[in-house]
């Protein structure tokens, strides 16, 4: 167990760092996913076993698109996700044919499963022309003949690519929600990303969604170059005035060889200003009747067509199966009923050429993965709990037979002393600035396990170097 002094020193040394760069979609970070051979046949057997045992196992589906429209600067100035530049509709439809073929590979595994929700992301999923949305849902229904009545079926896109015809097709095919990456309502700030959207594009897309009965989420970013607290609040005020019920207000992730990291870093608000933005945005939305569902998700009650999409951050203790289809898609699979070491995270090929080559060869297009120990699975659930701002101690005790408070008592106690958490016998809840620091708190909880993973990675690297044969004496390379 980490000592109190260590926990305090860790927090003091990390408070001034950008928090969002520590965010994990799961535990551990994909940079530790070193298993090049992921046993899809074994995973398929486990899925079938669970379906037979439990009746209908819930599955969340992610379907990815690799393409984004060209911007100057590239990748909207900040994006760190693997994407390809859009080359036209023919290339997009060709790619989608590969996704359909990949889905067919999972048909037998998914027999008996029920679809609990789906997210069509990317890339930019509203690049598709209107008829393709029906094909997408036909593919989903072939894979999952049964879809829960409450299932949230969300398509992600950017405002300027929506048309009324596309919206009508999205609604008619059975999707029920759109998620719009607005990023900035302020047109000057938005132009720094090279994107061409206008306020009119956003308003029109929201109006079409409302007329057609589609729920609509808006993603908006704080910590943007040249942004101030006042300009951020103006954007939020505008969204509230437009009756946007569902707002994701998250911190800009800055890193890698992006334009914002290389050329606009000096224009970014400081970490302390980002914290001020978080506080101001949170309080603004709470004061206007929104509820905070997670670190960055806010929803106002009363949306007549809303569904509760929380797959990304709500722990599911009895079973986790998030199936990823397409380029760079991620799958999470595990269940406490399985033998140790049968829980996995894995990612599809992040090279489009390699993805297509695998499908052409009749292989699952998996690039690499990570086999979770029970402690790793516990940590993944804790990461999700912290994103949801609440750790339910009763559920953890029932699922794992342990007291999560006792296991990390020094961490929880220090957080409570600093005003970041409230502890009761039933739950630990992040309060105050605790939600803003959730990425840092996740990394702190995982510090000991990450140390082990770093040592294991170094050992593997050393063994790989030792396995390379030395040249025979007197043999030199050619010129």
DSSP string, 395-460: HHHHHHSS-HHHHTHHHHHHHHHTTSEEE-SSEEEE-GGGTTTHHHHHHHHTHHHHHHHHHHHHHH
Helix 374-387 with 447-467: angle, nearest 10 deg = 130
Q: Burial level of 241, CB count in 10 A (0-12/13-18/19+)?
A: exposed
pLDDT (0 to 100) of residue 21: 60
pLDDT (0 to 100) of residue 477: 41
Cis before 73? omega within 30 = yes
Task: With cut-offs at 50, 70 and 90, classify the pLDDT of residue 48.
Answer: confident
Tokens for 229? 């607290």
What whole-number percentage of the chain has pLDDT above 70?
A: 93
Task: With cut-offs at 50, 70 and 90, classify the pLDDT of residue 475.
Answer: very low
- Does an H or E element contain 156, and which? strand 147-157
pLDDT (0 to 100) of residue 1: 80
Where is average pLDDT lowest: 247-261, 271-285, 335-349?
A: 335-349
**Phi and psi torsions of 446, nearest 5°:** -90, 5
Please tell me the number of Cα atoms within 13 Å of 186 on its side-chain side.
Answer: 20
**How many whole angstroms separate alpha carbon 369 and alpha carbon 297?**
29
**How many whole angstroms separate alpha carbon 280 and alpha carbon 433?**
11
- Decide if pLDDT at 126 tops 60: yes
Average pLDDT score, the chain: 91
**How many whole angstroms separate alpha carbon 394 and alpha carbon 427?**
7
How many angstroms separate the Cα of 308 from the Cα of each of 244, 297, 299?
A: 15, 11, 10
Tokens for 468? 């390379």
- Decide if pLDDT at 476 tops 60: no
Better pLDDT: 460 or 93: 93
List where CATH 3.20.20.70 sits in the chain: 31-299
Is the C-alpha dihedral spanning 419, 423, 428, 429 positive or negative? Answer: negative
Q: Are 334 and 140 in contact (CB under 8 A)?
A: no
Q: Among 381, 392, 280, 289, which residue's Cα sits nearest to residue 334?
A: 381
Going edge to edge, which strands form the sheet with 114-121? 291-292, 297-299, 246-251, 215-222, 177-183, 147-157, 114-121, 58-64, 320-325, 330-334, 343-348, 366-372
Residue the block writes with tokens 């439990």:
54
Task: With cut-offs at 50, 70 and 90, classify the pLDDT of residue 472.
Answer: low
**How many whole angstroms separate alpha carbon 60 and alpha carbon 192?**
35
**How many whole angstroms separate alpha carbon 330 and alpha carbon 328?**
7
pLDDT (0 to 100) of residue 310: 55
How many degrees, rounded to 5, is the angle at CA 237 between CA 162 and CA 437? 95
Average pLDDT rounded to a whole number, residues 117-146 = 96
Instruction: Assess if CATH 3.30.413.10 describes domain 31-299.
Output: no
Helix 447-467 with 438-445: angle, nearest 10 deg = 60
**62 CA to centre of own chain:** 10
Cis before 123? omega within 30 = yes
Task: With cut-offs at 50, 70 and 90, classify the pLDDT of residue 478.
Answer: very low
Tokens for 180? 């719009």
SS3 of 55-106: the string is CCCEEEEEEECCEECCCCCHHHHCCCCCCEECCCHHHHHHHHHHHHHHHHHC
Question: Coil, helix or strand for 311?
Answer: coil
Is the C-alpha dihedral spanning 294, 298, 301, 305 positive or negative? Answer: negative
DSSP label at 35?
B
pLDDT (0 to 100) of residue 300: 96
- Decide if pLDDT at 282 tops 90: yes
The pLDDT tens digits of the residues spanning 181-198 come to 999 999 999 999 999 999
pTM: 0.93
- Decide if pLDDT at 55 tops 80: no
Tell me the pairing of strands 67-68 and 84-85. parallel
pLDDT (0 to 100) of residue 169: 98
Task: With cut-offs at 50, 70 and 90, classify the pLDDT of residue 18.
Answer: confident
Average pLDDT rounded to a whole number, residues 397-419 = 95
pLDDT (0 to 100) of residue 479: 38
- Decide if pLDDT at 81 tops 80: yes
């Amino acid at each position: 167990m980490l000592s109190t002094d260590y926990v305090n020193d860790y927090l003091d040394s990390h408070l001034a760092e950008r928090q969002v760069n520590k965010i994990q979609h799961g535990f551990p970070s994909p940079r530790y996913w070193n298993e090049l051979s992921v046993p899809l046949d074994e995973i398929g057997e486990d899925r079938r076993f669970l379906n037979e045992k439990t009746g209908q196992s819930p599955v969340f589906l992610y379907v990815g698109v690799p393409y984004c429209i060209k911007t100057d600067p590239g990748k909207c100035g900040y994006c760190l996700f693997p994407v390809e530049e859009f080359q036209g509709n023919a290339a997009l439809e060709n790619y989608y044919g590969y996704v359909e073929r990949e889905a067919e590979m999972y048909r037998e595994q998914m027999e008996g499963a029920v679809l609990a929700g789906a997210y069509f992301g990317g890339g930019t999923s509203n690049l598709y022309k209107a008829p393709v949305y029906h094909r997408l849902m036909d593919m989903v229904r072939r894979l999952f003949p049964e879809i829960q009545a409450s299932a949230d079926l969300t398509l992600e896109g950017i405002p300027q690519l929506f048309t009324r015809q596309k919206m009508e097709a999205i609604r008619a095919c059975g999707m029920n929600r759109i998620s719009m990456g607005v990023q900035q309502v302020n047109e000057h700030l938005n132009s720094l990303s090279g994107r061409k959207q206008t306020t009119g594009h956003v308003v029109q897309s929201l109006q079409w969604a409302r007329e057609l009965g589609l729920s609509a989420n808006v993603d908006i970013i704080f910590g943007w170059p040249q942004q101030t607290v006042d300009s951020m609040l103006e954007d939020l005020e505008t969204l509230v005035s437009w009756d946007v019920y569902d707002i994701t207000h998250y911190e800009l992730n800055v890193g890698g060889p992006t334009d914002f990291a290389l050329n606009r870093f000096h224009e970014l608000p400081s970490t302390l200003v980002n914290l001020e933005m978080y506080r101001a945005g949170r309080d603004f939305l709470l004061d206007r009747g929104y509820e905070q569902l997670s670190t960055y998700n806010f929803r106002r009650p009363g949306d007549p067509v809303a569904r509760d999409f929380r797959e990304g951050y709500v722990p599911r203790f009895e079973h986790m199966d998030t199936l990823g289809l397409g380029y760079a898609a991620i799958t999470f699979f595990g269940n406490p009923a399985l033998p140790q070491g049968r829980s996995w995270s894995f990612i599809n090929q992040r090279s489009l050429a390699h993805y297509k080559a695998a499908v052409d060869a009749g292989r699952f297009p998996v690039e690499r993965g990570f086999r979770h120990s029970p402690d790793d699975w516990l940590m993944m659930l804790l990461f999700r709990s912290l994103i949801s701002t609440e750790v339910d101690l009763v559920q953890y005790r029932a699922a794992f037979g342990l007291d999560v408070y006792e296991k990390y008592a020094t961490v929880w106690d220090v957080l409570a002393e600093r005003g970041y958490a409230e502890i009761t016998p039933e739950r630990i809840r992040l309060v105050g600035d605790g939600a803003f620091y959730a990425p840092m708190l996740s990394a702190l909880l995982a510090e000991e396990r990450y140390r082990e993973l770093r040592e294991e990675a170094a050992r593997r690297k050393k063994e790989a170097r030792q396995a390379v044969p030395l040249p025979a004496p007197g043999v030199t390379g050619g010129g």
